[in-house]
A and B are shown apart, each in its own frame.
Chain A
Amino acid sequence: MKQLTVISGKGGTGKTTLAAAFASLAENAVIADCDVDAADMHLILKPRVLVKEDYCGLEIARFDPKLCIECGKCREFCRYGAVTENLEVDPYSCEGCAVCTIVCPEGAVSMEKRISGQVFSSETRFGPMAQARLGIGEEASGKLVSAVRSNAKKMAEQYYKDLIIIDGPPGTGCSAIAAITGTDLILVVSEPTVSGIHDLKRVIELAAHFMIQVVVCINKYDINEENTRLIEKFCTELGTPVLGRLPYDDIATKAMLQEQTVIEYAKNSEHASESEFANQVRKIWAKVEERLMDIPDEQKGMKILKMKNFS
């Protein structure tokens, strides 16, 4: 089984549009929406939820007012500023470290389970899908991303799928790292704006940090062709392949309004530019597939070894 993550650094460059299109082109894949705090993939793929589970991330401190002597030790030792002046826990700042349980002389603090969100296993018209919903104001988005990925993996095994397509979050922090670690290939969706270029460089660095192969595609390339050439130039210098260019087009929004992927939408479109857009996406996907095929499947390798041991 192989895993592809679509990320971008900068938000709004077209990750979900592209990942959804890939879902409709891939023959045998599980889709994982790992942008858990602003998940949009379900708006296009309309998943039917099969299993829904609460997800508990970090715990949260709870103070028993009957035992509390208001010594303020908890507030003094909390490094996250999560104990208010009135000696109450601020749920938005508590990181569940439990230091307050150690320093409280009265044993008035206990750690409680905290439901940080829900994870879903679903089916869509393109195959199985794993997604999640982060609770309002909850921490632990990185952990929730890992939970979605482990669900996706389970489904891939269950339904004999050989690929997981992961729609990643923007940024380079906790959630983005959780979405890329241990994957086989990263596709960065960039755009030829000063921000797009800056953020592309940072995610390429991030991928290098975790030693994962990167390929790039440039969306809205015609908004600034000079910047597009700039991206292609430095990617070439880095040895990072640029798989394709997509034009600035309203097709993504139009398809979204119809709850369709751009591939589906273009089938019924009379505009040549829209069919051409879909063709370019197909070409990018073909190149991604080619890359994925070239990457050795470590897990498969391990399975074969195991079987050899048994026989």
Chain B
Amino acid sequence: MKIAFASGKGGTGKTTVSLNLALALSDVQLFDCDVEEPNCNLFLGFELEKVEDVICSVPVIDPEKCSLCRRCSDFCRYNALAALPTKVLVFPSLCHGCGGCTLLCPEEAIRESHRFLGLIEKAKEGSSPEFYRGLLNIGETMVSAVIKKLQKHIDDRKTAIIDAPPGTACPVIASIEDMDYCVLVTESTPFGFHDLKLAIDVVRALKIPFGVIINRYGLGGSKVEEYCKTEGISVLLKIPNDRMIAELYSRGIPFIREMPEWNEKFLCMFEAIKSQLAGGKEART
């Protein structure tokens, strides 16, 4: 089973909740898909090893063969090629690696090289949970490509927990689109509530079953809870607005380690998700 933790608004506790659940369960995989700012391992402290590079094809033009026909530069949707009177310039950082220019070139003057987008790392053998993360290179824009490569390491026989990036744009879609379930982590502030509704629109559009965790419960107001009730959305967990939790977080400690009573609560949440999915399947058949 694949479960993602997403949020809309940033800083609502996706990483905290993913980590705590991964630590409460056994034999799970944890994926840090917030490749722009991966934070999970700050709390796990695993020794990481490189699994692979993530690359994107970019064209290299042979000026000897190029007849300056401009087909490549006219075609490129990303403005990565510019035809000058004497040569065609390539801007590798704008290229999305679609390969169209190579296909179109009548002189076979284009060959493909690549640029590095980032890398995939994993924790050394025997670590628990089994941990993978992606890391986007600084200055690189192709976030989804790194996320998709990272998710290739999901083992379908195991439970996979995915820590998704904030927002509702393409990196989030890439992180959650193949999931069996999505947990939306929010807080009951006006910003949290507003962005939760955006995130709900996304999971509904992708037709992914979902539930909500209210973090910093007690802060803000009761709007999130009321909304979930009216909409029939299950509230899986409420985490109080507790300074102790915030301080543990600041030191890089998953709070379940210092507050063992939460172990049970995370296990219950996992069971609730499973029964929601089982119920959903029954309802469909």
- Chain A CB within 10 A, most for which of B190, B205, B250: B250
Q: Is A147 part of the contact surface with B, judged by Cβ < 8 Å?
A: no
A174:B10 contact, CB within 8 angstroms: no
B11:A10 contact, CB within 8 angstroms: yes
A253:B219 contact, CB within 8 angstroms: yes
A173:B171 contact, CB within 8 angstroms: yes
A142:B103 contact, CB within 8 angstroms: no
Residue numbers in B under 8 Å from A137 (CB-CB): 168, 173, 202, 205-206
A59 to chain B, nearest CB (A): 7
In angstroms, Cα B60 to Cα A182, docked, is: 28
Interface residue stretch chosen among A24-32, A98-106, A121-129, A284-292: A98-106
Once A and B bind, how many residue pairs between them come within 8 Å at the CB atom?
194
In angstroms, Cα B190 to Cα A204, docked, is: 29
Residue numbers in A under 8 Å from B39 (CB-CB): 10, 194-195, 198-199
In angstroms, Cα B57 to Cα A250, docked, is: 48
Q: Is A172 part of the contact surface with B, judged by Cβ < 8 Å?
A: yes
Q: Is A67 part of the contact surface with B, judged by Cβ < 8 Å?
A: no
Interface residue stretch chosen among A11-19, A152-160, A237-245, A264-272: A11-19
Q: Is B270 part of the contact surface with A, judged by Cβ < 8 Å?
A: no
In angstroms, Cα B243 to Cα A67, docked, is: 63
In angstroms, Cα B166 to Cα A8, docked, is: 13
Contact with A along B56-85 (1 / 0, CB 8 A): 010000000000000000010110000000
Q: Is A9 part of the contact surface with B, judged by Cβ < 8 Å?
A: yes
The verdict on A59 contacting B9 (CB below 8 Å), with A194-B250, A199-B37 known, is no
Contact with A along B87-112 (1 / 0, CB 8 A): 00000000011111001100000000
The verdict on A173 contacting B250 (CB below 8 Å), with A92-B206, A137-B206 known, is no
Determine the residue in chain B with the shortest Cβ distance to A192: B250
- Chain A CB within 10 A, most for which of B34, B103, B221: B34
B67 to chain A, nearest CB (A): 18
In angstroms, Cα B78 to Cα A95, docked, is: 10
B143:A9 contact, CB within 8 angstroms: no
